[in-house]
Chain A
Amino acid sequence: MSGAGRGWGFAAPALIWTGAFFVVPFLVMGAMSLATLEGREVVWGISGENYADLWSRPYLRRAVLVSVEITLTVTAVSVLLAYPLAWIIAHRVPERWQRLALMLAILPFWTSYVVRSYAWLLVLGREEWINDALTGIGLIAEPLTLANTRFATVTGFVHFFTMLLTLTIYANLRQLSPNYARAAADLGANGFRTFAHVILPLTLPGIVTGAFLTFVLCIGDYVTPQILGGNTELTVPQVIMVQLGRRADFPLAAALAIVLMLLVSLAYLASARWLRLDRV
């Protein structure tokens, strides 16, 4: 028996599983997105109606926009918070406490995912706490509404993804040999230049990989905006669930899923240069 034959034997179950339960459903969903719903019957065919609806129905168009805006905000804010946090843990916290600090920083990761958003609802619903604090230090003059807004959705997301990114960025920073920074300093670079020209480029693949994962998970998430967003603006996953839950419009839901997929592909293309998905 040839080596390749044996290799196929080992890989076959995984390939078959992925083919049967991922590729085939994905293709069927693609076909479904070209079907139409008449009454309660799905009529198969090649129709662009669902995609045309994306333009003709304002709420669908808006959902795409809302999803992209929220996801980009979340990704940017999460990276901006996680990078310094990971940096401080890697470079300021004494070596022997680092593992503990990192553990503590990501421990709430293990709260149930559905419950985590609900917990934010409780915190933000009681907005006096936060408003008192903010007006107290003179940041704002008028109390803000926090719960049931985009702010709440973004906060819930950022909380989760900051933990995720802190973990990946910390691992990246630790892999860097301190010799790089030392060499840059020897060559006369100050702290900022060392960071901008040496550390940042070297950690960029890690950041981009983490940011891409954030993008994928965030744009496809239903629970967080549904619990925290106050439904005054709907994201694509929320609209998909409305189509399924209230009118069982599978063709339109499938088309929206394909759109979601395209958005992720765009993000992939934008970040492909730096992506290291095989090393997640």
Chain B
Amino acid sequence: MRGVAWIFLGAMFGFIYLPVAALVLFSFQGGSLPVPPFDGPSLAWYADILGDRDLMAALRHSLVVALASGAVSVALGFGAAYGLARHDLKGQAVLRGLLIAPLTVSYLIVGLGLLIVLQRLGAGLSLWTAGIGHVVINLPLCFAILYAAMGAQQENAERAARDLGAGEARVVLLVTVPMLAAPILAAFFLSVTLSWDEFIIAFLLTRFDVTLPVEIWSLLRSGLSPRLNAVGSLVFLVSVAVVLAMEILVLRRRA
């Protein structure tokens, strides 16, 4: 039985890493076709993408949109979670349902709805509109994470602070936020990751300045090239580095 378990584990890891291996291997391809036979290794395609003006601009755009929409999502999500968890509002269940609702809807629908409204209003498309869409899809997650994290422990501390004469703003900023630092960071990190990699909303809602997934999509539509492998591998390596860094930081703190 044990043997079967290990074989299964091995097979699954093989399955999970198969496409990544193909992607990374052929990013070092010497020729201009990312198909066997392998004729590298060469770093030519990495040099090519690092010198590509549009790709590098898209990378910057993605970072800005991800960080900004992540920050807005967390701020709004925190406000909603605090308001609903600490105050007895009428129609609590309905409000929670409303805030969670975008989670149960496909990204395509969120993007299409926003696109229709923006066009009716005659508003132009830009990174801003893509960012708005990203907040719509990340806000429910931030809300859910922070709402679940607001327990009695913080409430007692908040009450104590209030009894000592602290105003609401000071209570929130000096007591609640520090106590919830870990889930707030987690929510922010999750939002940034999802926005960074989101395609369809960014595709529908941007115009000239696009995010990295949209730029990769145009590359993908324009022809087979190891350049795609290089971009993909680079994004993967950077993301993994960030994930590992977060992991080590969090682990260290806990230890």
- The answer on direct contact between A and B (beta carbons under 8 Å) is yes
Binding site for B on A (CB under 8 A): 3-4, 6-15, 17-19, 21-26, 28-29, 32, 81, 84-85, 88-89, 92-93, 103-105, 107-108, 110-116, 118-120, 122-123, 125-126, 159, 162-163, 216-217, 219-223, 227, 237, 240, 244, 250, 253-254, 257, 260-261, 264, 268, 277-280
In the complex, are the beta carbons of B79 and A21 less than 8 A apart? Answer: no
Contacts of A13 in B (CB 8 A): 75-76, 79-80
Q: Which of B46-54, B81-89, B153-161, B177-185 has 4 or more CB atoms under 8 Å from chain A? A: B81-89
Contacts of B71 in A (CB 8 A): none
11 contacts between A and B (CB under 8 A): A11-B83, A14-B143, A18-B102, A22-B102, A25-B116, A28-B116, A116-B19, A216-B105, A220-B108, A253-B112, A279-B144
In the complex, are the beta carbons of B83 and A278 less than 8 A apart? Answer: no
In the complex, are the beta carbons of A118 and B228 less than 8 A apart? Answer: yes
Residue B117 lies at the interface, judged by CB distance under 8 Å to chain A = yes
In the complex, are the beta carbons of A277 and B103 less than 8 A apart? Answer: yes
Contacts of A257 in B (CB 8 A): 106, 108-109, 112-113
Given A81-B12, A119-B229, A123-B19, 20 more pairs with CB closer than 8 A: A3-B87, A3-B88, A4-B87, A7-B84, A7-B89, A14-B99, A22-B101, A24-B117, A28-B116, A89-B9, A105-B13, A111-B236, A112-B197, A115-B23, A115-B228, A163-B16, A250-B116, A277-B103, A278-B147, A280-B144
In the complex, are the beta carbons of A237 and B87 less than 8 A apart? Answer: no
In the complex, are the beta carbons of A21 and B135 less than 8 A apart? Answer: yes
- Complex Cα–Cα for A214 and B246 (A): 26
Contacts of B231 in A (CB 8 A): 112, 115
Binding site for A on B (CB under 8 A): 2, 5-6, 8-9, 12-13, 15-20, 22-23, 26, 34-36, 75-77, 79-80, 82-84, 86-90, 95-96, 98-110, 112-114, 116-117, 120, 132-133, 135-136, 139, 141, 143-144, 147-148, 168, 193, 197-200, 204, 212-213, 216-217, 220, 228-229, 231-232, 235-236, 239-240, 243, 247
- Complex Cα–Cα for A91 and B194 (A): 30
In the complex, are the beta carbons of B8 and A85 less than 8 A apart? Answer: yes
Which of B22, B120, B216 is packed against the most chain A CB atoms within 10 Å? B22
In the complex, are the beta carbons of A88 and B5 less than 8 A apart? Answer: yes
